[in-house]
A and B are shown apart, each in its own frame.
Chain A
Amino acid sequence: MSMQVLYSAIALFLLLTLIAGLWRVLSGPTPADRMLAAQLFGTTAVASLLLLAQAFGRPHLRDVALVFALLSAVTAVAFVRRTWTAWKDDDAAD
């Protein structure tokens, strides 16, 4: 088995776990739960991009991963500071 196949296979596997994680985005129940799933997608995407960068010899994909890492942090902080603290009524579910 060549290493390229290994990298691609693991990247594909990570994408499959990501699809499973979509269930949490759909079911919630609090906005934070949905956000957490989105956060996990960010990390999974970073790992997949790094694997693909290695598999296909495209080092620039690492820069995409870097931007992904930065963006997912900003997204989550913005969510907590702006959105979630502003909603008063929808967290009684938990």
Chain B
Amino acid sequence: MPLTELLTLFLLLAGAGFFLAGTVGLLRFPDVYTRLHALTKADNVGLGLVVAGLVLQAESWAAMGKLLLIWLLVLLASASVAHLVARTALRKGIRPWKR
């Protein structure tokens, strides 16, 4: 197996791991704020690794650019959404969970 394919394999498996952790976090974390942490992490790191793995196999520069663009768009969206949800939750008086 060529080196780039091996690297892709590694990046995709790592990305899938982060998606799994994101879902597990979403199910296990105790309140809306902590679940937001799980969500933004899966978006950022999980998709980032999957995109990085696919970029190595992209057939053209434009395709590579499109993959990165999709990642950037998702990042921008998830940052805005996380902030909006957290702010709204705070303003509605939902208390953060404490140990």
Contact = CB atoms under 8 A, between A and B. Distances in A.
Contacts of B39: 36, 39-40
Interface in B50-99: 50-51, 54, 57, 59, 63, 66-67, 69-70, 73-74, 76-78, 80-81, 84-85, 88-89, 92, 94-95
Contacts of B73: 66, 69-70, 73
Secondary structure call for the B interface: helix
B63 A59 contact: yes
Interface of B: 5, 8-9, 12-13, 15-16, 19-20, 22-23, 26-27, 31-32, 35-36, 38-39, 42-43, 46-47, 50-51, 54, 57, 59, 63, 66-67, 69-70, 73-74, 76-78, 80-81, 84-85, 88-89, 92, 94-95
